[in-house]
């Protein structure tokens, strides 16, 4: 149980770093929406619905660190799944940014020559992101790791609770000898360890 709260604290630290680093990502969802509409993936009848969803996602991403803090509050009031979804949305832009940054760095560092079409795509996508704040990227990474390990700790807590419940239900089918404390079946008339008889 304590481990779970430690990882919540780690997520909060990451959220503060995101806020200090001005981690924002609303432009990504706007560009994504435009590309989906231009590519014809969204029919005219679904454009208002998808636009509304993208606006919500955009605001969650725009307020990155603040959104993560709201998600932590939701986790603490037992809305864990909703909180984790919000964290995923709030950090998704940053994670994608880290990947794009890594690919761009690798291409430049190793002198990899890309096809002009792929180079244009990489430059365009790279231009959507801002990499001027290492604090924002570090905060995003801390939140992502914290969320992952929080989820593992939460699963471990649930498993432990199941085992405790199972053992307590099996204890109801037994009794203890008042003389030596031996664990006996509930229907026992005497202790098979010390020989004490029960009335």
Q: What is the pLDDT of residue 121?
A: 74
Q: What's the pLDDT tens digit per position in 65-111?
A: 888 899 999 999 988 889 988 888 888 767 777 787 788 888 888 98
Q: Is residue 186 part of a domain?
A: no
Q: What's the pLDDT tens digit per position in 123-144?
A: 777 776 655 567 777 888 898 8
The model's pTM is: 0.60
Q: Is residue 193 part of a domain?
A: no
Q: Is residue 59 part of a domain?
A: yes
Q: What is the pLDDT of residue 45?
A: 84
Q: Is residue 17 part of a domain?
A: yes
Question: 174-176 and 183-185: which strand pairing?
Answer: antiparallel
Q: Is residue 194 part of a domain?
A: no
Tell me which of 197 and 167 has the higher pLDDT.
Answer: 197
Q: What's the pLDDT tens digit per position in 38-57?
A: 767 777 888 888 888 877 87
Per the structure, the count of domains in the chain is 1
For residues 90 and 140, the answer to whether their CB atoms sit within 8 Å is no
Q: Is residue 190 part of a domain?
A: no
Q: Is residue 183 part of a domain?
A: no
Tell me which of 193 and 167 has the higher pLDDT.
Answer: 193
For residues 62 and 93, the answer to whether their CB atoms sit within 8 Å is no
Q: Is the pLDDT of residue 169 over 60?
A: no
In this prediction, residue 10 has a pLDDT band, given cuts at 50, 70 and 90, of very high
* Whole-angstrom distance, CA of residue 63 vs CA of residue 49: 22
Q: Is residue 197 part of a domain?
A: no
Domain that holds residue 58: 2-174
The partner residues of 185 in beta bridges, in order of sequence, read: 174
């Amino acid at each position: 149980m304590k481990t779970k709260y430690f990882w919540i604290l780690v997520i909060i630290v990451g959220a503060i770093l995101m806020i200090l680093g001005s981690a924002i990502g609303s432009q990504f969802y706007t560009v994504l929406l435009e590309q989906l509409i231009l590519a014809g993936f969204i029919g005219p009848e679904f454009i208002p619905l998808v636009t509304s969803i993208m606006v919500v996602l955009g605001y969650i991403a725009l307020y990155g660190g603040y959104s993560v803090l709201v998600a932590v509050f939701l986790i603490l009031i037992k809305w864990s799944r909703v909180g984790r979804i919000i964290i995923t949305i709030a950090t998704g832009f940053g994670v994608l940014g880290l990947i794009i940054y890594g690919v761009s760095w690798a291409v430049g560092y190793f002198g990899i020559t890309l096809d002009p079409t792929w180079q244009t795509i990489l430059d365009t996508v790279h231009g959507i992101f801002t990499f001027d704040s290492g604090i924002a990227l570090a905060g995003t990474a801390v939140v992502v790791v914290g969320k992952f390990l929080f989820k593992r700790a939460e699963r471990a807590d649930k498993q432990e609770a199941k085992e405790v419940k199972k053992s307590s239900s099996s204890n109801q089918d037994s009794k203890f000898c008042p003389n030596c404390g031996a664990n006996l079946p509930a229907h026992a008339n005497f202790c098979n360890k010390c020989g004490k008889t029960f009335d």
